[in-house]
């Protein structure tokens, strides 16, 4: 049992267990430590704070167990590297948890019925901020099948039973799987506070690297996704090293509208190519008013390079990311030009 699996499994079996009854959590973690004593390390804040003993690891994990309804503290950002380090996504929070009474009050929104509603209107579907991936899936499958297929690749079933689309959006991660889909579909987000509500396009909600327009005292009340109109097509794609339960290298989502055999509008949104998920404006402008044909995508690599300057990391180099992004666009063009709608991976 590796470090990430042991921690995740511990959170799974202890998700509703109060800290006064943590035995299953501790036993699971202890089993992982027995298999490999050095894996109980966490990279907290900007430095490495080793958790070399079972007792230290228990202390942090028990505190996290009390917060499982609020955060998903561990991210499979990578498997333990040569230094057997497991990254913690909420580094500052985990560092704070080591200190006693760091969070005297924790509020769970899980039981707020108004946040767990899904409303389907003639022209849109509204997904409450507390709606889990699992509860949203039947609706995504019905209206946006490829979006649903992408969501099924997010984490394990246990994660999807707790995680929410609104939570994914709130992270403002540049590789958040759902964010390019929401941008391509021209979704809006409703933010609520004591002062009232305001509605923003998802594209405007993301303001930078892990930054959003969410103000102090606000929560994401709902996400509204317009349904596809006649003549519109949508598809979402994810490129990663492992098909399931892996961090994305590139995420792409496209919504195409054609009139008279020509492109009326293409919304092409990408994650993993910049500090935030964003649209490929050069590509969108180049194909507008043109026939939806491979010839008009011949220079898509160069067009994407105008809009994005990807980083290079252990998931993929900058050149690879741009080529993957261009390849996904060509794949979308092929799939939407077949006599019968079909995903290329189904051939």
What the chain holds in terms of domains, given with CATH numbers, is 3-98 (no CATH), 113-226 (3.30.465.10), 233-346 (3.30.390.50)
Question: What is the C-alpha to C-alpha distance for residues 254 and 249, in angstroms, rounded to an integer?
Answer: 17
Read off the pLDDT of residues 192-243 as tens digits, 9 standing for 90 and up. 999 999 999 999 999 999 999 999 889 999 999 999 999 999 999 999 887 7
Q: What pTM was computed for the model?
A: 0.70
Strands (E), the chain: 41-44, 47-50, 86-87, 118-120, 124-128, 188-193, 196-201, 206-208, 211-212, 219-226, 232-239, 250-259, 262-271, 278-279
Q: Helix 23-35 vs helix 3-13: angle between axes, to the nearest 10 degrees? A: 170
Place of tokens 């050095």: 38
Q: Each residue of 80-134: pLDDT tens digit? A: 333 322 233 334 444 454 555 555 666 777 788 899 999 999 999 999 999 999 9
CA pair distance 203, 186, nearest whole angstrom: 8
Task: Sort residue 245 into left (φ over 0), alpha (ψ -120 to 50) or beta.
Answer: left
pLDDT in tens, 240-295: 887 777 788 899 999 999 998 899 999 999 999 999 999 999 999 999 999 999 98
Dump pLDDT digits (tens) for 142-175. Answer: 999 999 999 999 988 888 998 999 999 999 999 8
Kindly tell me if the per-residue pLDDT of 305 is higher than 70.
yes
DSSP 120-131: E-SSEEEEETT-
Q: Which residues contact 221 (CB under 8 A, 6 or more apart)?
A: 114, 115, 128, 129, 190, 191, 192, 197
| Entry field: residues in the chain | 347
DSSP state of 99: S
Question: Is residue 155 within 8 Å of 181, Cβ to Cβ?
Answer: no
| pLDDT tens string 31-52 | 544 444 333 333 222 223 334 4
Q: Is residue 66 predicted with pLDDT exceeding 80?
A: no
Tell me which residue has tokens 């609020």: 70
Looking at residue 12, its pLDDT comes to: 29
Q: Tell me the helix, strand and coil percentages in the chain, rounded to 5.
A: 40, 25, 40
Contacts of 36 (CB under 8 A, 6+ apart): 1, 2, 3, 84
With the CA atoms of 194, 199, 204 and 207 taken in that order, what torsion angle do they form, in degrees rounded to the nearest 10?
10
Q: pLDDT averaged over the chain?
A: 75
333 CB-near residues (< 8 Å, 6+ apart): 292, 293, 294, 297
């Amino acid at each position: 049992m590796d470090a990430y699996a042991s921690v995740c499994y511990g959170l799974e079996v202890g998700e509703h267990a109060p800290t006064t009854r943590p035995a299953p959590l501790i036993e699971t973690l202890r089993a992982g430590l027995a298999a490999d004593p050095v894996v109980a390390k966490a990279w907290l804040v900007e430095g490495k704070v080793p958790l070399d003993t079972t007792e230290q690891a228990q202390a942090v994990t028990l505190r996290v167990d009390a917060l499982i309804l609020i955060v998903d503290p561990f991210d499979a950002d990578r498997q333990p590297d040569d230094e057997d380090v497991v990254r913690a996504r909420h580094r500052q929070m985990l560092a704070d948890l080591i200190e006693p009474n760091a969070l005297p009050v924790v509020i769970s929104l899980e039981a707020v019925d108004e946040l767990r509603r899904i409303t389907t209107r003639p022209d849109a579907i509204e997904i409450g901020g507390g709606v889990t991936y699992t509860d949203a899936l039947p609706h995504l499958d019905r209206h946006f099948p490829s979006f649903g297929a992408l969501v099924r690749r997010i984490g394990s079933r246990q994660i999807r039973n707790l995680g929410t689309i609104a939570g994914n959006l709130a992270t403002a991660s540049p590789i958040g799987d759902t964010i390019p889909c929401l941008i391509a579909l021209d979704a809006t987000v409703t933010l609520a506070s004591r002062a009232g509500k305001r509605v923003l396009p998802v594209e405007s909600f993301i303001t930078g690297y892990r930054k959003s327009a969410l103000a102090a005292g606000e929560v994401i009340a709902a996400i509204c996704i317009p349904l596809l109109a006649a003549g519109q097509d949508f598809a979402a794609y994810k490129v990663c090293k492992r098909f399931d339960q892996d961090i994305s290298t590139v995420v792409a989502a496209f919504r195409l509208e054609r009139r008279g055999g020509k492109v009326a509008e293409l919304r092409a949104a990408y994650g993993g190519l910049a500090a935030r998920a964003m649209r490929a404006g050069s590509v969108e402008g180049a194909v507008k008013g043109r026939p939806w044909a491979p010839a008009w995508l011949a220079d898509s690599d160069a067009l994407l390079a105008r809009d994005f300057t990807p980083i290079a990391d252990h998931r993929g180099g900058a050149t690879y990311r741009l080529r993957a992004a261009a390849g996904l666009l060509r794949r979308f063009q092929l799939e939407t030009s077949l006599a019968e709608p079909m995903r290329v991976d189904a051939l």
